[in-house]
Structure 1
């Protein structure tokens, strides 16, 4: 059965998956989407504040989104998102780092204008292999209700 609005429990946390960043993918992503020298070239990265090749923060966000879609949203009543409220990059992600993602439900409510769906506020946390939070994202998403018209909390 698909995950729907009713399945979202405020305060619950779900492990979404993990990803290990490679040199080649960091450079490939940066080449296409964020061509700053410290994402593209090891020598330039050594001279930067990062000290070594670092993944773009947008690359980290994209990986997290991919994990969320493949491991949760693909089998859900997701109807998209009105946007991201906050992104924070706390630590760089380097070649060989493995980021584990978890998603916590912060709040939810049934839409007053479209009662067949609800709005769920979540926080995504990306944690590296050292237990350090490298990124947080707060966002909202729309999910269809399994039983529209029945009060869901």
Structure 2
């Protein structure tokens, strides 16, 4: 999507993606090797009653869905960051996550008229329609000049 395609209030969706235990473990061993992400036996006896995916994996899945649904081949060139990053419910192997985002605001930079700014809220829901992840993202876009 181009900057001009985003409209305040619009919904952006991505079909569900199923999380596998293999990807949960691979990610956790590489980037977040806490026991409740990598040690199935200890995790079974722990607070969560089994392995849970790293929240950073969940965020990565959300990012991939945002790219596939809206940012791929766009003029977005980055982000200054996220607000209100929340891991609401643990993600487990076999969960089927769907992406829903809503565009909260869209504006042209007051100091750089070639820069568009989109703020949107991302949600991931599991197969039970339970919210598992939420964040407010800001993306920066090159604005195409108006045709003369």
Report the TM-score range of the alignment, normalised by the length of the smaller protein.
over 0.9
Query: What is the root-mean-square deviation in Å for CA atoms of aligned residues?
Result: 1.5
DSSP-derived class of the 1:81 partner? strand
Which one has the bigger strand percentage?
2
1:78 to 76, 79, 85: 76
Q: What TM-score does the superposition give when structure 2 sets the normalisation length?
A: 0.93
Partner Cα separation in structure 2 for residue 16 and residue 147 of structure 1: 30
Write out the 4+ residue segments of structure 1 that deviate beyond 6 Å after TM superposition: none
2:100 to 99, 102, 117: 102
In the TM superposition, 1:48-127 aligns within 5 A as 48-127=46-125
DSSP-derived class of the 1:71 partner? helix
Shift in alpha-carbon separation, 1:146–1:54, aligned structure 2, 3 A: same
DSSP-derived class of the 1:75 partner? coil
Q: What TM-score does the superposition give when structure 1 sets the normalisation length?
A: 0.90
Aligned residues: 147
Q: Extract unaligned runs of 5+ from structure 2.
A: none
In the TM superposition, 1:38-53 aligns within 5 A as 38-53=36-51
Partner Cα separation in structure 2 for residue 63 and residue 17 of structure 1: 12
Partner Cα separation in structure 2 for residue 55 and residue 35 of structure 1: 11
DSSP-derived class of the 1:108 partner? strand
- Conserved 8 A contact 1:102-1:126: yes
* Alignment correspondent of 2:5: 7
1:13, distance to aligned residue in structure 2 (A)? 0.7
Q: Extract unaligned runs of 5+ from structure 1.
A: none
